[in-house]
A and B are shown apart, each in its own frame.
Chain A
């Protein structure tokens, strides 16, 4: 019963993720696309829960849904309210058909690779109390990566401010 519920949950979350991801690409309206993107993130965080990565799932919900998707919708609302319709062009012209073909090929290759690879399954059980372990890892083994990420954010902020401020007209 437990196994069955687990499988069912996996397929539900997977279907939600894939369907909303397809919607993001095909929808004609930018706001619809971004809301579907938020739904896609929810699906992914559901998959994380099934993998027993509870902390990652929470972060995914908080950061991607709570911040990124919302900022995206707000940004669209504030900038192009009047001409919102058709902001996300997807006419069935030749380039997009070509892109569809390439993406389809890529999906086919990926599925083929997944099917033919002899995967090594990890025998280690799920980690209990993930935040503590993650915190310790980030501040010990991965400390340099974390510090560099901090510098990255500072640099990105400086660059963004300079570019957004524009030219002083003197």
Chain B
């Protein structure tokens, strides 16, 4: 047993507790903005520290908690996502949310849950990590207490999320009942294609697909994304999804790898349905958060398709795409946050004239959206290329063609937003943007372009991480 492997998790927990204590110490009437910056600096420090952990594949406690390159890659993804979210949320929290200290602390606890999920090598640790993340998000979605939509979204997420957790737990109990083990590698040894095993696997897939908002388990996503405070919507899209993918990759490629012929067809249909529904329905959305919610459903479909390859190339594509989607989402939501802070609305109409008022933000939004659509030279193009070549090699050409056609259609509604931004301004109010939000916007812009033009380093890192599974 080696506690040193847990340093990142312990540091995140301590940071969260410190935020709660500082929140009490700062007088009520003073601004609590500093808490957001303290949290962001702490997360950045932990991100830098985690770089030192690469290469060491080790387990704690009988292999129930594994720290390998794959887990580390996901942890850094979560840390980066939280760092960006914290930076662009400071002004939003000050303006719309009363309990800022608790907001930041809970966000860090959600981060802890995700990190545990990425390292979990058995079903119990995985489930507890997932519940920690989910329960924090149930609360955070409803955190905008003055907004009815936020409370409604919190309620919906709680109900549906609890049901999905129950379904997944039921699936786990079937798997445990048949194999007699909770550790993924031992499940793999004992798994045979018996009815009980397949039922358990199907129920677990359904529970995970809910977290990933894969069609047909996506019904909650548009409402929850719309009602939640914008930074939380961003975290749901970047963090919660990536964490569920971390679990999905480990469970399906380690524990259920011998049963691939049984799950491959279902997964390919789920991925295809997500791409179609996510992209077609997004066309009619007038609210930016709803539009991004449907877009995130489609993106989850793209990432899920990488699982079908079942090899290093497929996982590498998934990891690569998760990172570039994280940067694109951070950019898009940072700009949405700025617009909401400016005129208090989430409608796409509210973006009109953004190009005149704040050219930088308009460019960031354009690049982020086009990166999601997959146009070269943005990162999304390379990401789709990796995913599609990986699954085309395994004979899923129909899915590749579908994904290609759908991403062409998606350009249309992303361009609608761009068109609105470059149209004439409706009002002449001055547009003020806080420095930290601009930093996030610039980071996202540079990352989307850099990864798109020079994908080598990230691809190498993703490949290195993916090899940890085999």
Residue ranges of A at the interface with B (Cβ–Cβ < 8 Å): 109-110, 112-114, 116-120, 122, 140-145, 148-149, 151-152, 154-156, 158-160, 162-163, 166-168
Is B61's CB under 8 angstroms from A148's CB? no
Question: Which parts of B87-129 form the interface with A (CB within 8 Å)?
Answer: 98-99, 102, 105-106, 109, 112-113, 116, 124-125, 128-129
CA distance A79 to B102 in the complex (A): 28
Is B135's CB under 8 angstroms from A163's CB? no
Contacts of B190 in A (CB 8 A): 120
Interface range on chain B (Cβ under 8 Å from partner) = 35 or more
Question: B140 at the A/B interface (Cβ < 8 Å)?
Answer: yes
CA distance A122 to B179 in the complex (A): 10
Chain A proximity of B202: nearest CB distance (Å): 10
Chain B proximity of A115: nearest CB distance (Å): 9
CA distance A151 to B105 in the complex (A): 12
Contacts of B60 in A (CB 8 A): 144
Chain A proximity of B108: nearest CB distance (Å): 9
Contacts of B13 in A (CB 8 A): 151
Is B178's CB under 8 angstroms from A120's CB? yes
Is B195's CB under 8 angstroms from A148's CB? no
Q: Which of B98, B109, B128, B197 contacts A145 (CB 8 A)?
A: B128
A155 and B178 in contact, given A145-B124, A163-B154, A168-B98 (Cβ under 8 angstroms): no
Question: B52 at the A/B interface (Cβ < 8 Å)?
Answer: no
Chain A proximity of B165: nearest CB distance (Å): 12
CA distance A6 to B129 in the complex (A): 39
20 contacts between A and B (CB under 8 A): A110-B199, A117-B178, A120-B178, A120-B190, A142-B124, A144-B6, A144-B60, A148-B128, A148-B132, A152-B128, A152-B132, A155-B109, A155-B136, A158-B20, A158-B105, A159-B140, A160-B139, A162-B102, A163-B143, A163-B154
Chain B proximity of A28: nearest CB distance (Å): 21
Contacts of A110 in B (CB 8 A): 199
Is A163's CB under 8 angstroms from B196's CB? no
Is B139's CB under 8 angstroms from A148's CB? no
Contacts of B106 in A (CB 8 A): 155, 158-159
Is B61's CB under 8 angstroms from A112's CB? no
Chain B proximity of A12: nearest CB distance (Å): 23
Contacts of B61 in A (CB 8 A): 140-144
Contacts of A159 in B (CB 8 A): 102, 106, 135-136, 138-140
Question: B145 at the A/B interface (Cβ < 8 Å)?
Answer: yes
CA distance A167 to B145 in the complex (A): 6
Chain B proximity of A24: nearest CB distance (Å): 15
Chain B proximity of A116: nearest CB distance (Å): 5
Chain B proximity of A121: nearest CB distance (Å): 10
Is B135's CB under 8 angstroms from A158's CB? no
Contacts of B199 in A (CB 8 A): 109-110, 113
A151 and B132 in contact, given A117-B178, A167-B145 (Cβ under 8 angstroms): yes
Is B64's CB under 8 angstroms from A122's CB? no
Is B145's CB under 8 angstroms from A166's CB? yes
CA distance A53 to B116 in the complex (A): 29
Closest A residue by C-beta to B117 = A148
Contacts of A163 in B (CB 8 A): 139, 142-143, 145, 154
Question: B31 at the A/B interface (Cβ < 8 Å)?
Answer: no
Closest B residue by C-beta to A120 = B180
Contacts of A109 in B (CB 8 A): 199
Contacts of B223 in A (CB 8 A): none
Is B102's CB under 8 angstroms from A148's CB? no
Closest A residue by C-beta to B198 = A113
Is A116's CB under 8 angstroms from B195's CB? yes
Chain B proximity of A29: nearest CB distance (Å): 22
Question: Which parts of B132-156 form the interface with A (CB within 8 Å)?
Answer: 132, 135-136, 138-140, 142-143, 145-146, 154
A144 and B196 in contact, given A119-B178, A156-B135, A159-B138 (Cβ under 8 angstroms): no
Chain A proximity of B78: nearest CB distance (Å): 15
Is A144's CB under 8 angstroms from B135's CB? no
Is A148's CB under 8 angstroms from B140's CB? no
Is A141's CB under 8 angstroms from B112's CB? no
Is B109's CB under 8 angstroms from A151's CB? yes
Is B178's CB under 8 angstroms from A149's CB? no
Contacts of B64 in A (CB 8 A): 141-142, 144-145
Chain B proximity of A169: nearest CB distance (Å): 10
Closest A residue by C-beta to B199 = A113
Question: B428 at the A/B interface (Cβ < 8 Å)?
Answer: no
Chain B proximity of A156: nearest CB distance (Å): 5
Question: B351 at the A/B interface (Cβ < 8 Å)?
Answer: no
Is B116's CB under 8 angstroms from A148's CB? yes
Is A114's CB under 8 angstroms from B140's CB? no
Contacts of B124 in A (CB 8 A): 142, 145
Q: Which of A117, A145, A156, A162 contacts B143 (CB 8 A)?
A: A162
Question: Which parts of B39-62 form the interface with A (CB within 8 Å)?
Answer: 60-62
Question: B327 at the A/B interface (Cβ < 8 Å)?
Answer: no
Question: B256 at the A/B interface (Cβ < 8 Å)?
Answer: no
Chain B proximity of A113: nearest CB distance (Å): 4
CA distance A116 to B195 in the complex (A): 7
Is B135's CB under 8 angstroms from A152's CB? yes
Is B196's CB under 8 angstroms from A114's CB? yes
CA distance A127 to B146 in the complex (A): 54
